[in-house]
Structure 1
Amino acid sequence: MDRVRVGVFAADSLMQEGLTSFLRTRPELRVADRTELGERDVMVVQADRLTREVVAELQSGDGRAVVPKVLLAGELRDNEIVHVAESRVVAVLPRSRTSGDRLVEAIVAAASGRGLMPSDVLGRLVDSVRRLHEEVLLPRGIGSAGLTAREVDVLRLVAEGWDTAKIADKLCYSERTVKNVIYSMTTRLKLRNRPHAVAYAVRAGVI
């Protein structure tokens, strides 16, 4: 099996060194400079708080490739969850309750197009979006009619924390069909990831 290329960004230099050293010991991974990562690689971002520097790294604001990210974080506040939704974060792991093996599992899953967004994070994201009045997540010029009935069905289950396999079983689709539905929708509506799509659907009033 090909090793997953992974970059590391930590707000603290000691954590950066420790996390990098640990990931280098894992045979599934190959640590690379984060400036050289591409869309098929994975970035691990560790931060207790989402500072401006961390948010900029999550959003790859310096023009680097948009890389799937695994966020190893402390307790996220509601406004920080919104920043997560605006970035290509495919997995959120609580730092205090995540083992090394669990982190590696999340990295490998992210590289294969899967993610881990805890249901409580998705629920808080939905609540946060409902409270917001600024256009922080909804792409302008696109209304609720931009979603098909099938896309809405899929998004309802995503919002409840269901993974691809369970969604496919519930809706009697193949997993490939579910992935294609999500990819087509996020690409067409210029949405960054599944949480962003859920937030968009909430703002559109369809879920």
Structure 2
Amino acid sequence: MTSQTGLVTRPADRAAGRESEERARVAIWAADPITLTGLTQTLTARLDVFVAGDEHPGDVDVLVFAPERVDAAATAALRRAVARWSAPVVLVTGDLDRSHLMSLVESRVVAVLHRSAATEQRLMRAIDLAARGGGAMPPNLLGDLLRQIKDLQQDVLAPLGMNSASMTPREIDVVRLLADGLDTEEIGNRLCYSQRTVKNIIQAMTSRLNVRNRPHLVAYGLRTGVI
């Protein structure tokens, strides 16, 4: 599967300055040139979005990801795309293997549109929701996803004493106290742990959860709902 990305096709937008910055900046990935061209032309004709190219991948609000079908190859391509653009994803596809739902959510997919039903209006609504931190998942897919999360909790995490945030109860206690602004010594005093134990707990979490530092760990706790 070959990655394709949208290009800036309206140079006048660059000179628009403040007006351009107020638009949702959208990057496009498509599995084939025809789909890429169609999505690019549709979105560049809009006044409320700005189609971004490859020049500034970090400055993108939403990634529109359009594979022909969602399979193992597409989910691998999605992970690479998200690593590059680091933005919430609107998925447009003609065929979705539901066994990949968890992988899609982990890769920041917040909205799913079937290609046959992806009208301009629905696509723009999904982009707008994604840019504002929301999402739009079809009810049938949402039901499947919730069942998969429940199975994960019961069959994998619960036997390990963890939850959907992949944290143990004592790790959650530490993260909550970090969020309250307590330092290592204060957390140890509050939980009756040594400072070394607190440091080991934090180090284990940052390594396992792939977070950079304590503020990032607190942000992860907020995002997963444990704080």
Instruction: Give the TM-score normalised by the residue count of structure 1.
Output: 0.61
1:14 paired residue number: 34
Q: 1:21 to 1:38 in 2, by over 3 A?
A: same
1:62 offset after TM fit, Å?
7.4
SS at match of 2:25: strand
Native 8 Å contact 2:70 2:95 kept in 1: no
In the alignment, which residue of structure 2 is the partner of 1:188?
221
Given the superposition, is the C-alpha separation of residues 84 and 9 from structure 1 closer, same or farther in structure 2, using an over 3 Å criterion?
same
Measured at CA, do residues 27 and 54 of structure 1 come closer, stay the same or move farther in structure 2, by a change above 3 Å?
same
Q: Does the 8 A contact of 2:60 with 2:87 survive in 1? A: yes
Q: Percent sequence identity over matched residues?
A: 33
Match of 1:67 in 2: 87
- 1:136-147 map, 5 Å: 138-142=164-168
Q: Is 1:79 the counterpart of 2:105 in the alignment?
A: no
Q: Which runs of 5+ in 2 are unaligned?
A: 1-18, 158-162, 174-217
For structure 1, the 5+ residue unaligned runs are: 148-184, 192-196, 201-207
Kept in 2: contact 1:59–1:88 (CA 8 A): no
Q: How far did 1:76 drift?
A: 1.9
Check 1:63–1:89 CA distance in 2 against 1; reply closer, same or farther (3 A cut).
closer
Residue 114 of structure 2 is matched in structure 1 by: 94
Change (3 A) 1:120 1:94: same
Q: Which residue of 1 aligns with 2:68?
A: 48
Q: Which deviates further from its counterpart, 26-35 or 55-64?
A: 55-64
SS of residue paired to 2:46? coil
| In structure 2, distance between residues paired with 1:43 and 1:15 | 15
Q: Cα deviation per residue 1:74-93 (whole Å; 9 max; x = unaligned)?
A: 23222121211211111111
Q: What does residue 146 of structure 2 align with?
A: 126
Amino acid at match of 1:95: R
| Cα pair 2:66 2:92 within 8 Å, conserved | yes
Verify the 8 A CA contact 2:82 2:108 in the aligned structure 1.
no
- Give the deviation of 1:146 after TM superposition: 5.2
Which of 109-118 and 35-44 deviates more? 35-44
TM-score by structure 2 length?
Answer: 0.56
In the alignment of these two chains, the number of paired residues is 156
Note if contact 2:28-2:64 (Cα within 8 Å) is conserved in structure 1. Answer: yes
Offset at residue 186 of structure 1 (A): 7.5
Find the structure with the greater CA-based Rg.
Answer: 2
Partner of 2:160: none
Structure with more contact order per residue of length (Cα contacts < 8 Å, sep ≥ 6): 1
